Amino acid sequence: MPYACAQLGIVLFAVMLVITATAAHGAIRLLVLCIDKSNDAELTARPKYTSLGSAAFGKRGEIAAAACVALQQIGPCVMYIQISADVLVPILCEFGGTGIWCSTAFWQILAVVVIVFPICLIRRMDSLKHISAVAMFFILAFSVTVVIRGIWVLTNTGLREEDYRAIEKHWDTANSTQCSTSTYHDGCYEVVPPGDDVYLFRAGKDMLNAFPILCFAFLCHQNMFPIYEDLEDRNHTRMTSASLISMLLCVCLYFSVGVFGYLTFLESNQPNVHTGKSGDVLVLFAVQSKGFDFALVMDILRVGYGISLILSYPVMLFELRHILEKYAVGDDADYSLKRHLIVNFVVISVCTAVAINVQSVGTMFGLIGSTTSPCIVFILPSVFYLKLRPDGKARPFAWILGAVGIILVPVSLWAWATGL
């Protein structure tokens, strides 16, 4: 979010947050109306994105929905492993020394084997509510600290230069092509100096790089179906309320972290022109603690944030696993522990391998956010609603939403491809 804010400027960033959240909420309402008002007994009994696609366009609609959701879910399954490494490995490297303590791949594999894989064996979304609550606590604590630091920097702008000098020591800025691959800093991307200018509006090609991130940030539509299925006295009104509250919370959280993270580091949030690596705010905070100071507090919260991502992994995997099992054995197959283990093992192994080899989280954010995210947020809900609710009152909104998505995909994909 600080990176997106740096691309757009503070005011335009706030406007785009509200627009994207409104569109995402409207799309959820379109989807749930299709289910709630449907005469299809199978769809209402076991609502899924794929079953909604099947009800609207038959097998072609089902396959299109399944492909979009599967590819979309692969993205966060990769990115959560990448980001957790960005969060945890600098601290381990700082306090543990060299060697294996600084090996990104080692800690990623260890986290996957010890934590991710076991908790991904949970079968029901409802069983994840306590894990999700712990994850949300860590995310909120980290976010509040980012805001506090941003306010602190505004009162003492000299802290920006101190932060930059502290983190700059961690990167080989002179020989970025000759960096050692045995340390945490094997990415060796250069941090851009923060500068002094605060932008309210920013126009130009670079602003398009923020759109995939915003689309990705508000995408939860594939997970709406198991949540809707678990609601007590479920109906479109209750689901719409849940969606509205979620979107409002996300807008507040994203705006706070985006703006104050941007104000803390300014141009350091920008990607480096030589390496293409984005200014991930998680790696811009220094990890060199000198007793009980801000760096120590941030390190503790950063560990909690990394743990929260790991604990959230099953939510990201849930619908992807369902799609793979559906096309492997069918919806009516009885539960098999062996099959459950195999599917989890294959998916998590592949995603971990990709995360280790594709070090920049911005690469995955841009690719997924410019392709499958607009399809799931804008295009598919619109066409499903227009097909299944021909007399629905939300048809004008559905037409607008679908048109925006059709325009957004090639534009965002072009911006992502040319920015690599």
How much of the chain exceeds pLDDT 90, in percent?
8
Higher pLDDT, 68 or 248: 248
Contacts of 407 (CB under 8 A, 6+ apart): none
For residue 318, pLDDT beyond 60: yes
Give the closest residue to 216 by CA, choosing from 363, 111, 333: 363
The pLDDT tens digits of the residues spanning 291-305 come to: 566 777 777 777 777
SS3 breakdown of the chain: % helix, strand, coil, rounded to 5? 75, 0, 25
CA 396 to CA 113: how far, in whole Å? 48
For residue 374, pLDDT beyond 80: yes
Q: Which two tokens stand for residue 112?
A: 């996957």
Contacts of 8 (CB under 8 A, 6+ apart): 16, 201, 202, 207, 210
Domains and CATH numbers, the chain: 2-419 (1.20.1740.10)
Mean of the per-residue pLDDT values of the chain: 77
Which amino acid makes up residue 76?
Answer: P
Tell me which H or E stretch contains 156: none
Cα distances (angstroms) measured from residue 328 to each of 68, 75, 143: 17, 21, 41
CA 221 to CA 50: how far, in whole Å? 12
Give the closest residue to 367 by CA, choosing from 319, 309, 316, 417: 417
* DSSP conformation class of 271: P
The pLDDT tens digits of the residues spanning 6-62 come to: 889 999 999 999 999 999 999 988 888 888 776 666 666 677 777 888 888 888 888
Q: Which two tokens stand for residue 55?
A: 């009800």
- What SS3 class is residue 389? coil
From the CB of residue 327, how many other CB atoms can be counted at a distance below 10 Å?
14
Give the closest residue to 7 by CA, choosing from 197, 187, 270, 227: 270
Q: Which two tokens stand for residue 215?
A: 């689309």
Q: How confident is the model at residue 275 (pLDDT cuts 50, 70, 90)?
A: very low
For residue 366, pLDDT beyond 50: yes
User: What's the confidence (pLDDT) of residue 181?
Assistant: 36
For residue 134, pLDDT beyond 70: yes
Q: Which two tokens stand for residue 19?
A: 């627009």
Higher pLDDT, 257 or 300: 257
Sequential DSSP letters for 392-404 = -TTHHHHHHHHHH
What CA dihedral angle connects 331, 333, 337 and 339, to 10 degrees?
A: -70
Judge contact between 310 and 84, C-beta under 8 A.
yes
Judge contact between 277 and 271, C-beta under 8 A.
yes
User: What's the confidence (pLDDT) of residue 22?
Assistant: 92
CA 72 to CA 132: how far, in whole Å? 20
The pLDDT tens digits of the residues spanning 84-124 come to: 776 777 677 666 656 666 677 777 788 788 878 887 777 66
Q: How confident is the model at residue 333 (pLDDT cuts 50, 70, 90)?
A: low
Q: How confident is the model at residue 182 (pLDDT cuts 50, 70, 90)?
A: very low
How many residues are recorded in the chain?
420
User: What's the confidence (pLDDT) of residue 13?
Assistant: 93
pTM for this structure?
0.77
Sequential DSSP letters for 285-339 = S-----SSSHHHHHHHHHHHHHHHHHHHHHHHHHHHHHHHHHHHH-TTPPP-HHH
How much of the chain exceeds pLDDT 70, in percent?
78
For residue 346, pLDDT beyond 70: yes
Give the CA diameter of the chain.
66
Angle at 405 between CA 40 and CA 389, to 5 degrees: 25
CA 278 to CA 354: how far, in whole Å? 18
User: What's the confidence (pLDDT) of residue 71?
Assistant: 83
User: What's the confidence (pLDDT) of residue 177?
Assistant: 40
Mean pLDDT across 76-91: 75
The pLDDT tens digits of the residues spanning 189-231 come to: 456 677 778 888 887 777 777 888 888 888 888 778 777 777 7
CA 334 to CA 217: how far, in whole Å? 35
User: What's the confidence (pLDDT) of residue 11?
Assistant: 93
HSE-CB of 330 using CA atoms within 13 angstroms: 3
From the CB of residue 385, how many other CB atoms can be counted at a distance below 10 Å?
27
Cα distances (angstroms) measured from residue 99 to each of 93, 105, 373: 8, 12, 38
Higher pLDDT, 106 or 163: 106
* DSSP conformation class of 115: I
Mean pLDDT across 152-173: 68
User: What's the confidence (pLDDT) of residue 399?
Assistant: 92
Mean pLDDT across 150-175: 68
CA 318 to CA 356: how far, in whole Å? 22
